[in-house]
Amino acid sequence: MLELIWLLPTFPLLGFLALVLTGGRLPKQIAGPIGAGSIGLSFAVAALVASEFLNSGLEHFTYEAWVWMSVGGFNPGFTFYLDGLSMVMMLIITGVGFLIHLYATGYMSDDPSFARFFSYMNLFVSAMLMLVLGDNLVLLYLGWEGVGLCSYLLIGFWYTNPANGYAARKAFVVTRVGDTSMAIGLFLLFAQLGTLNIQDMLHAAEMQWSVGSGFAVAASLLLLGGAVGKSAQLPLQTWLPDAMAGPTPISALIHAATMVTAGVYLIARTHPLFEMAPSVQLLVALIGLITLLLSGFTAMTQSDIKRILAYSTVSQIGYMFLGLGVGAWSAAIFHLMTHAFFKALLFLASGTVILSLHHEQNIFKMGGLRKALPVSFFSFLIGSLALTAFPYTSGYFSKDEILLGALELEGVGFWFWLGGVVGAFFTGIYTFRLFFIVFFGDSQAEHPPEKEVGGWHMNGPLILLMILALAGGFIHVPLDAVFNHGEAHGEHHVSGLIHGIMIAVPLLGIAISYLFFMSKTFSVEKLMASALAKKLHAFWFGGWGFDTLYNAVLVSPFLFLARVNRKDIIDSFYALIVSVSQAANALIVKSQTGSLRWYALTVAGGLVVMVSLGAIL
Amino acid sequence: METIPVEHGFILAGILFCLGLIGVLTRRNVVFVLMSLEIMLNASGLAFIVAAARWGHAEGQVMFLMILTLAAAEVAVGLGLIIQMFRRFQTVDINVLSEMKG
């Protein structure tokens, strides 16, 4: 039964082939069932395999489909490795993926490129499954680049608008920086350890390298570079907010639930390597902490509903990095799972809002939608509560575990905990700012919604995700076998005060948000009156000036060089060869007069010359 | 009977060859070009005959017979081409046919 694991990436791949080989011309009635059905089949197989795996009591299971290539001692294969970690990931990808596909059959039903959309989506799921199931880093890298490609294709899905194409290129180029670092990391690992099979590699690393040795630090740093690019963490976080140019189901699937968490998965998968480089592990936590705080500030100032959610995604992945960095591995993966539930819910609900308002994304042009859009209202309510870690929602359990894990770290742990709590405070403010502005107050809509768009294939996934976002915290994640050696077992022993603070702070954020945006006890206008506040607002609105900085430091010099070297200095050498042969050609063309008598004369002349040469010599 | 010196025969062949060559180079009427070519062929045939008579070998005469056959075939093809050329271009002026220029 476990052997069926090879079917997981195969179904979406077949769906992709069916859709792409018909040239995207299949009618919606066929393309929709193929696109969503292939993921549904995958999920069914995943559930079957997972239950079998849990019942078998195995720690891990390897299935080799075939050897990809065999060069010397290097034999990466299409080999699938199933353990607690990859099982959780595959269930998230196929389960949440299926709900989002189902939603998309309704959301995209008016789009002329319906079949093309689902072909990309299926390819994405196939690549993502290879990423998490691959037992070697080469297969992981194949999936890694595959999801990057699909992300690019789907951000630029509405390619007729040049801005979307620009956003797609930006996402591709920025993540490429991280991918290059990761590729170098793979080269280093292979050169030093002689294998790219993940388990063998980790084992060899523990045998050959000592804790804190140069190679361990370099390898984990390079892998961290890849993770930072894919997961939109500082300093490569700039692409994710712009990636919201894609259709909303894409934002839910790729840019919230699955692909952006690939970096978290990578670090968790290679965590023994990071444990051997404590300085890098500390850096992971620091990156997470800074990212979650910076993007929290930015999310408070945005006005586009999807950009707010995008910055909150960056912030929540920051929490996961914080969890990884402090060694709370399973807490980070747990948060990855709950985040996939409630963030997919929030994005899909925002899709319903956007569609009902005829593609309006500015929250200040919404308002008072509570009655008109009841399904979105409840989705947002539950999603926002989970996002702010309201007690006993899914986000509460996972965020708690991360923060308690931080507290257990000696020395700097308290500061990481404090930063995380401050971040939770901001989460409360920006999440409920969005919620209050969109669903309460007076309607500011230019085109008030006639009725909520929906139907069972849009509302069904929302309702299921609501249940998961509420109750997802009670799911037991079977990760003990994966992370057992590095983690303290048993309950966290902390005082009631700490618990009280962690419950109260997000509520405080919600209360402040209520006073500002709901009861209007405090006025945002007054707060914004001073020049300093305006400057700060503009600074945060632009994402702490990272885009400006990168434009000035990287983009402008590059464009300058491109302009200077427009004629390509190196190419001029080859242009010289061309012009010389062209000149020779022009010279010889003159002798081709087309006159028969001229040719006869040259033949006779040539003969005379030859004969006289023979006579003389 | 007094034999003709072999030099005379070669000189005659040389003169005939040069006359033919000059004809090929200077004539514009393609029929005359073909005729001049015949003269050149016959000049080389004469040279073979003279040489064969001088050294008493039969190969020279064999070569002449071959040249004769070749000339007959060449005239047949050449005249056919000239007729085609006249049909298409309504002229026998060789200078007009310079479409392959440069």
Query: For A593, which residue in chain B has the nearest alpha carbon?
Result: B101
Element (H, E) at A514: helix A496-517
Task: Give the model's confidence band at A371: pLDDT under 50 very low, under 70 low, under 90 confident, else very high.
Answer: confident
State the amino acid at position A80 in one-letter form.
F
**Residue predicted with more confidence, B83 or A596:** B83
Rg (chain B; Cα; Å): 17
DSSP A251-262: HHIIIIISGGGH
Mean pLDDT, chain B, whole residue set: 89
Q: Do B100 and A594 touch (CB under 8 A)?
A: yes
Q: Do A596 and B100 touch (CB under 8 A)?
A: no
pLDDT of residue A111: 83
pLDDT of residue A550: 84
pLDDT of residue A456: 82
Separate counts of helices (H) and strands (E) for chain A: 27, 2
Task: Give the model's confidence band at A42: pLDDT under 50 very low, under 70 low, under 90 confident, else very high.
Answer: very high
For residue A589, the chain B residues in CB contact (below 8 A) are 102
Whether residue A155 has pLDDT greater than 60? yes
Whether residue A83 has pLDDT greater than 90? no
Phi, psi of A109 (to 5 degrees): -65, -20
Mean pLDDT, chain A, whole residue set: 86
Q: Do B101 and A592 touch (CB under 8 A)?
A: yes
Whether residue A429 has pLDDT greater than 60? yes
Whether residue B102 has pLDDT greater than 70? no
**Residue predicted with more confidence, A366 or A432:** A432
Whether residue A450 has pLDDT greater than 80? no
For residue B24, the chain A residues in CB contact (below 8 A) are 597, 600
pLDDT of residue A484: 67
**Mean pLDDT score, A329-343:** 89
**Mean pLDDT score, B32-42:** 92
**Mean pLDDT score, A162-180:** 89
Task: Give the model's confidence band at B47: pLDDT under 50 very low, under 70 low, under 90 confident, else very high.
Answer: very high
Burial of A177 (0-12, 13-18, 19+ CB in 10 A): middle
Question: Alpha-carbon distance B27 to B36, whole Å?
Answer: 9
Residues across chain B: 102
Q: What percent of chain A has pLDDT over 70?
A: 98
Nearest neighbour of B98 by CB, restricted to A594, A601, A604: A594
**Mean pLDDT score, A349-376:** 84
pLDDT tens per residue across span A209-227: 888 888 888 989 999 999 9
Whether A414 and A407 have beta carbons less than 8 Å apart is answered as yes
Chain B residues in contact with chain A using a Cβ-Cβ cutoff of 8 Å: 21, 24-26, 28, 33, 94-95, 97-102
Whether B59 and B52 have beta carbons less than 8 Å apart is answered as yes
Question: Alpha-carbon distance A94 to B7, whole Å?
Answer: 105
Whether residue B67 has pLDDT greater than 90? yes
Task: Give the model's confidence band at A584: pLDDT under 50 very low, under 70 low, under 90 confident, else very high.
Answer: very high
Half-sphere exposure of A203 (CA within 13 A, CB side): 6
**Mean pLDDT score, A5-13:** 89
State the amino acid at position A508 in one-letter form.
L
pLDDT of residue B11: 94
For residue A67, the cross-strand partners are A77
Element (H, E) at A67: strand A61-67
**Residue predicted with more confidence, A106 or A450:** A106
**Mean pLDDT score, A259-270:** 90
pLDDT tens per residue across span A105-139: 888 888 888 888 899 999 999 999 999 998 888 89
**Mean pLDDT score, A557-573:** 86
**Residue predicted with more confidence, A445 or A265:** A265
Helices A278-301 and A214-230 pack at an angle, to 10 degrees, of: 20
Phi, psi of A155 (to 5 degrees): -65, -40
Whether residue A162 has pLDDT greater than 60? yes
Q: Which two tokens stand for residue A216?
A: 């361990």
Angle at CA of residue B57, ends B51 and B59, nearest 5° = 85
Q: What percent of chain A has pLDDT over 90?
A: 19
Rg (chain A; Cα; Å): 29
pLDDT of residue A492: 61
Question: Alpha-carbon distance A153 to A163, whole Å?
Answer: 14
pLDDT of residue A542: 75
pLDDT tens per residue across span A84-108: 888 889 999 999 999 999 999 888 8
Q: Is this prediction's ipTM beyond 0.90?
A: no
Q: Do A593 and B102 touch (CB under 8 A)?
A: yes
List all residues 6 or more positions away from A14 whose beta carbon is below 8 Å from its beta carbon: A38
Whether B41 and B65 have beta carbons less than 8 Å apart is answered as no
List all residues 6 or more positions away from A100 whose beta carbon is below 8 Å from its beta carbon: A249, A252, A253, A257, A344, A348, A461
For residue A499, the cross-strand partners are none
What distances in angstroms separate CA A556 from CA A403, A440, A549, B87, one per listed residue? 41, 44, 10, 70
For residue B28, the chain A residues in CB contact (below 8 A) are 597
Whether residue A533 has pLDDT greater than 80? no
Task: Give the model's confidence band at B70: pLDDT under 50 very low, under 70 low, under 90 confident, else very high.
Answer: very high
**Residue predicted with more confidence, A613 or A68:** A613
3-state helix, strand, coil in chain B (%, to 5): 80, 0, 20
Whether A341 and A251 have beta carbons less than 8 Å apart is answered as no
What's the gap in Å between the CA of A549 and the closest CA on chain B?
A: 59
Query: For A600, which residue in chain B has the nearest alpha carbon?
Result: B25
**Mean pLDDT score, A443-460:** 78
Nearest neighbour of B94 by CB, restricted to A590, A593, A597: A597
Interface test with A, best of B21, B27, B32, B96 (most A CBs within 10 A): B21
Whether residue B13 has pLDDT greater than 90? yes
Whether A240 and A232 have beta carbons less than 8 Å apart is answered as yes
> Residue A65: helix, strand or coil by DSSP?
strand
pLDDT of residue B19: 94
Nearest neighbour of A604 by CB, restricted to B25, B28, B101: B25
Whether A125 and A42 have beta carbons less than 8 Å apart is answered as yes
pLDDT of residue A61: 85
Question: Alpha-carbon distance A119 to A142, whole Å?
Answer: 18
